[in-house]
Chain A
Amino acid sequence: MIFLTDDLTLNLSNIENKISKNELLNDEDLKILLLNILQLEDSHENE
């Protein structure tokens, strides 16, 4: 169940940008990172 929608991809690249600039993340960013990993784990479990 991978739902790499455009908005998730965009958000992830924004977060990557922040990390590369050593900017602090916020709760929203952590939530997106969590969702991204959860969907990857789920798709791995379904294999």
Chain B
Amino acid sequence: MKMNNSSAPKAETTHSTIAILQTTRFGDLIQTAQAISDLKTQFPHYRIILIARSQFAKPLDFIFNKLVDKTYLLDTKSIFQNAELNGLSTTLLNLEAFLHQLKTESIDVLVNLSFSKSSAYLSSLITSHHKIGAHFDFNNRMCINDKWSQMLFSTVMRGNLNPYSLVDLFRNIIGIKAIEKKEKATPVLLANKKKNIVIHPFASQERKSWKADKWVEVIYKTLKELDSVTISIVGSKSEFSKSQLILDNPLLKNYSHRITNLTGKTSIEQLAEEVKNSKLFVGHDSMVGHLAAFFNTTSLTISLGSVRPQETTPYHDRAYNLSPRTKCFPCFATDNCQNFQCHHDISHQAVSASIKLLLEKNEISSSDVKKYISSFHLSAVNFYKASFSNQQLILENLIEGNLDTAEIFRNFFRVTWSFIISDIEEAVPFPRLSTSAHKEMLSTLSGLQHLFELSDFGKRYSRYILEEISSATPSISKIKDFSKKIDEIDQLQAMVQKTSPYLSPFIDYFIVRKANLQGDNIVKLTENSYFAFEECGNLSKILYELIENSITEFKISSPRNEVNK
């Protein structure tokens, strides 16, 4: 990370301070902790401070006290205390007191990793030499100046085409280079764990978790087939009644002595200890999975509803993920859904069989899936295993066959973003294309051609503006006309997005990129507009080449009649 423009090695001799701002919930905070852990390893001489919401960061102090030099807790309860009686002035004083504490730190870089309006306003009020991530300016305009934050803002939770884990995006935003992962769960470490499975059968939304009866089946089958195994059910106080629904099921009556219900009975630190000492974690997308990753416990996550496995699968190489291939998966939290088809597409048998394999063999390979799990139970799922490539998390599908189109595009996007933004070359094998993927690729090629041509026009009109400004008698009306042309290009890019939806991540990124052009005068802004169009053209060229080569490879390896179908 470039701390300043001076050539003196300031970072080596003084304690530069990096402040990480993360105001979101437990899961994001644990993922932030994983990124901070790498930051601390690479830059042990930096002073790292965390700014987070009190209600989420305080219970995780047992993690952060080893990672950061100081945590500043934004406690809204005390800020708003007696607000109704005392009015705005007292509340403002409370907020100022919090900001005053932060002023005592000489922050070199403030990194906002949470993309909420509140964190962006907070970022704008904290004094720092440099700011990364979202913040507001005095025109009340949200500014995101760094490319990885622009990429996160434009793609995460927008669709299913973001190829990066949130932890990797956080690492990229902070500017941590890829480093060799040292901590591996060795067989000795695994042997020390008790034969217990921690199950968290709940999630923050109904669409993200199975109903109780499916979990009853999983627990019943696991305890019936694996004699020496015990199970701990975990969750928050508010989930206690749901846990009772599972435990009161008559099917589990004979096994109740092997099940411990810890729902609502543990602190997060105690829960972490339970996860750390257990052999396996099984559950939906929640912070417990991230705790498992943090403490190197194997995890099996069942992703449903609006969960994007690529973004939130626990960040370690012993993470497994079962996701439905349901057409509407992943959906959006606001989508109306009555049937929850994705819940039906993952069978409890597939989960039970995977648990058995993980307990008996410690890991699952592609051949294990083929040999031990009935293909009937895998017909509508993707079964991923996490691993690291270039020190970034990737999900490999353990079910052999053609990749779906979104998966192919995610791989291509990963290659393209990594090269353009971080200058990292990634090697990805040519995908095996299904007929439908082949068709989608062909149609995307024409979208890319349009995008490339539009970028070229964008560059041209940006150049015209610069030439006009530098002429002896610049004409305002000419500059306005060229500027209008650039606006038209933006509208045409939006039309390409409609006809080639797989290009959405690029186009969305460019909308954010162009909205955040840097410069305090028309020359600087136009120069940066030129560079943005150039980057768009380069991204289009690389993606075009990747698709074209994949299609060529597909034609060589497939019989002619298959291709022409």
Which residues from chain B contact A35 at a C-beta distance below 8 Å? 79, 88, 91-92, 95
Give the docked Cα–Cα distance between A32 and B83 (Å).
13
Write the nearest CB–CB distance from B140 to chain A, whole angstroms. 5
B175 at the interface (CB under 8 A from A): no
Cβ-neighbour of B118 out of A7, A22, A27, A34 (below 8 A): A34
Give the docked Cα–Cα distance between A3 and B136 (Å).
24
Cβ-neighbour of B124 out of A7, A22, A30 (below 8 A): A30
B270 at the interface (CB under 8 A from A): no
Which residues from chain A contact B91 at a C-beta distance below 8 Å? 3, 35
Which residues from chain B contact A27 at a C-beta distance below 8 Å? 125
Given contacts A24-B138, A37-B117, contact A11 B88 (CB under 8 A): yes
Given contacts A31-B92, A31-B125, contact A39 B80 (CB under 8 A): yes
Which residues from chain B contact A1 at a C-beta distance below 8 Å? 80, 83
Q: Are B118 and A5 in contact (CB under 8 A)?
A: no
Q: Are B89 and A7 in contact (CB under 8 A)?
A: yes
Cβ-neighbour of A8 out of B88, B118, B124, B140 (below 8 A): B88
Within 8 A of A (CB), among B23-75: none
Which residues from chain A contact B117 at a C-beta distance below 8 Å? 37
Number of interface residues of B (CB under 8 A): 24
Give the docked Cα–Cα distance between A7 and B86 (Å).
11
Write the nearest CB–CB distance from B479 to chain A, whole angstroms. 21
Which residues from chain B contact A37 at a C-beta distance below 8 Å? 116-118, 121
Which residue of the partner chain B has the closest CB to A10?
A: B88
Which residues from chain B contact A15 at a C-beta distance below 8 Å? 140
Cβ-neighbour of A30 out of B80, B84, B121 (below 8 A): B121
Write the nearest CB–CB distance from B354 to chain A, whole angstroms. 34
Chain A interface helix/strand/loop/mixed: helix
Give the docked Cα–Cα distance between A17 and B121 (Å).
19
Which residue of the partner chain A has the closest CB to B74?
A: A38
Residues 113-125 of chain B, each 1 if its beta carbon lies under 8 Å from chain A, else 0: 0001110011011
Which residues from chain B contact A3 at a C-beta distance below 8 Å? 80, 83-84, 91
B87 at the interface (CB under 8 A from A): yes
Write the nearest CB–CB distance from A5 to chain B, whole angstroms. 5
Write the nearest CB–CB distance from A26 to chain B, whole angstroms. 7
Which residues from chain B contact A24 at a C-beta distance below 8 Å? 138-139
Which residues from chain A contact B88 at a C-beta distance below 8 Å? 5, 7-8, 11, 32, 35
Which residues from chain A contact B95 at a C-beta distance below 8 Å? 31, 34-35
Write the nearest CB–CB distance from B58 to chain A, whole angstroms. 15
Give the docked Cα–Cα distance between A6 and B122 (Å).
23
Other A-B pairs beyond A25-B139, A30-B125, A38-B76, 17, CB < 8 Å:
A1-B83, A3-B80, A3-B83, A3-B84, A3-B91, A5-B88, A7-B89, A8-B87, A22-B139, A25-B138, A30-B138, A34-B121, A34-B122, A37-B121, A38-B79, A41-B116, A42-B76
- 19 pairs, CB–CB < 8 Å, chain A vs chain B: A3-B83, A3-B84, A3-B91, A5-B84, A7-B87, A7-B89, A8-B87, A27-B125, A30-B125, A30-B136, A32-B92, A34-B118, A35-B79, A37-B117, A38-B118, A39-B76, A41-B116, A41-B118, A42-B76
